[in-house]
Structure 1
Amino acid sequence: MDLQLGGKRPYVMAASSGLGRAVAEELVREGATVVISSRSSERLRTATESIREATDCADDAIESVICDLADEEDVRNATEEAIEILGGLDILVTNHGGPETTRFSELSMSAFDDAYHGILRSTVLACKTALPALRDDGGAITNLVAASALEPSASGALGNVFRPGVYGLSKVLAEEVGDDGVRVNCVSPRGVMSDRIQFKIAELAEREGITESEARKRRTDELPVNDLGTPDSFARSVAYISSPAADYITDAVLPVDGGWHRHAF
C-alpha cells in the first residue's frame, strides 16, 4: 500500500530511542522528511545517524531539535523550530518517556508534578503550538499512549493518572479541528519490545524471584498472539494512521497490543 507519505513533514517527539525512534525511521523509509526531538543531544546525534544508515536517506531527510518535555519553553520552542526546519508541518507525533512505576501511597508530589509536565502538559503544549501549521494544509496528530492506562493498575499511579488525559485531549481536538482538515488519533502499544519493556521484564523477574525468560513468558501468556511485538510492526501502524491513506480515520484509539485489549467497544 502506498501511504502517500513522500514529501510529508512529520515532527516526532521523544524519538531518540525506543518506539519513537522506530516511528521516525519508518516515516523516513516511507519518504517523509522528519524532525525528531529529545533532551539529549548525544542520543539525538546517534539516532539521526542510525536512521540515515538504516534507510540510506539523504542527510536532510532526518533532522533533530533539543526538547526537555518537562520544560514549557523547551516544548514550545522545539515545536516551532521543527516547523521552521520543515517549512511547515503535516504530522505531529506526540510521545513521552514512561514515568516511574509507583503506588499512590509511595509517590511524591515532585514525581507527580514531573509526570504531569512530561506526559500531559507537554502534549497539550505541542498540539497548541503545532495546530496553526497543521491547519494550513490539513494534517494529522497522532498521540502515542501506553495501553495500560485503559486498565489502570495500582503500581501505575503516575502514568495511569495522566495518560487518560491524553486520550481525552485527542477526543476533544478531533471534534474541534475536524472542519480544518486535521485528524487526531491515539496509538496504544502494549507488549511491544523496547528498552522500557525489557526493563519492566527485568524488574518483574527480580520482584518475583524468577528468571527473565519466565517473566517474559508471563507477558506473552496474556496475549492471544502469544508473542511480544516488534518496534518495526508498531511503527508501521503509526505510519499508516498518520498518513493520507487513513484519511477517514479520526477520533480513534488504535491498539497495537497483540490482542491484550479485549473490550467489545
Structure 2
Amino acid sequence: MDRGLKGKAALVSGASKGIGRAIVARLVAEGMQVLGTARGGCDVPGAVGFPADLRDPAAPSAVVARAVEAFGRLDLVVNSAGATRRGDFLALDDAAWTDSYAGKFFAAMRLTRAAWPHLMATQGSVVHVAGAGGKIASADFTIGGSVNAALMNLTKALADRGVQDGVRVNCINPGSIRTDRLTGRITTVMQEQELDEAAAADALAKATGVARFGEPEEIAAVVAFLASAEAGYIQGAILDVDGGWIRAV
C-alpha cells in the first residue's frame, strides 16, 4: 500500500534497537528519507545514522539541524527514545528520576520544539511513543508510569497548538513488546519461577492479560499509518497498541 510517504523526511529517536529501529526500517521501506538517532547511532540500511545523547539539552537541536541539512526538509518526528528505571519507589534516588525524565520526556519535548518550525513548513506530524504504563499504575514502575503519563498530556497540549500551526501530534502506547527489555523481564520470571523461556514468556503474558506479546514491527506499522494522509484527521490521539492490556475507558 502506498501511504504517500515516498520522498518525505523523518527523524526517529531511540533508533539503535527495539521499537525505534523497527520504526526506522519501516519508514525506509515506505520510501522516506530517515535520520535515526541514538547514543549508539543507527545501522538500518538506507537510513542516515547520527549518534547523539538526547539527555544533553543541546543535543536535540543539533539532531534536528543535521536532519534538515541532510534532507532539506522535515515531515515527521518520532520520539521513541528513553528507557526509564523500574524498581521500588523507596529505592529510586533523585538521579534515577532525573535521568529517566531527561532521556524520555525532556528529550521528546526538546526534539519536538526544535523541529516544530520545520514541521509547520511541511504540514508534518509528530508521533510520541509512550507506553501502557502511563495508564496502568504500578508500584515498581513509578518513574516510567509518570513519564509516559506526562508524554500523553504533552501530546494533547501540542495537538492543540498543532491545530493552528498545521502540525499533527499523536501518541502510541505500546504494551508488552518483544524487545531486549522484555527479554530481561522474561529471564527474571524464569529464575523466580524456575521455568524455561517459553513457559516464562507464557506466564508473563497471562499475568498481563494478553494472548501474546507484540512485535516492534507492529508498532512501526502504526507509526507509518499515523504519518500518512490516511490519518489526516487524527489529532491528539492516544492510541493503545497493547493486545488488550488496558481495559479502562
Give yes or no for TM over 0.5: yes
Equivalenced residues, count: 249
1:16 maps to which residue? 16
- TM-score scaled by length of structure 1: 0.89
Please give the root-mean-square deviation of Cα atoms over the aligned residues, in Å: 1.6
1:31 maps to which residue? 31
Q: Which moved more, 1:122-131 or 1:226-235?
A: 226-235
Q: Which moved more, 1:162-171 or 1:77-86?
A: 77-86
Indicate yes or no: 2:154 matched with 1:169.
Answer: yes
2:138 maps to which residue? 153
Shift of 1:68: 0.4
2:211 maps to which residue? 226
1:86 maps to which residue? 71
CA distance in 1 between counterparts of 2:113 and 2:39 reads 20
- TM-score scaled by length of structure 2: 0.94
User: What is the aligned-residue identity percentage?
Assistant: 31
CA deviation string 1:194-220 (max 9, x = no partner)? 111111211233344443333211232
SS of equivalent to 2:11: strand
CA distance in 1 between counterparts of 2:204 and 2:7 reads 39
Counterpart contact for 1:225–1:258, Cα < 8 Å: yes
SS of equivalent to 1:169: helix
SS of equivalent to 1:72: coil
Counterpart contact for 1:223–1:259, Cα < 8 Å: no
The equivalences for 1:76-115 within 5 A come to 76-115=61-100
The equivalences for 1:115-126 within 5 A come to 115-126=100-111
Specify the code of the residue in structure 2 equivalent to 1:7.
Answer: G
CA distance in 1 between counterparts of 2:70 and 2:240 reads 32
CA distance in 2 between counterparts of 1:236 and 1:34 reads 15
SS of equivalent to 2:58: helix
1:127 maps to which residue? 112
1:40 maps to which residue? 40
Counterpart contact for 2:174–2:242, Cα < 8 Å: yes
Q: Which runs of 5+ in 1 are unaligned?
A: 53-60
Structure 1 stretches (4+) deviating beyond 4 angstroms? 222-225
Shift of 1:238: 1.3
The equivalences for 1:188-199 within 5 A come to 188-199=173-184
SS of equivalent to 1:93: strand
Shift of 1:252: 0.4
CA distance in 2 between counterparts of 1:175 and 1:73 reads 26
SS of equivalent to 2:164: helix
Q: Which runs of 5+ in 2 are unaligned?
A: none
**Out of 204, 211, 218, which is 2:196 matched to?**
211
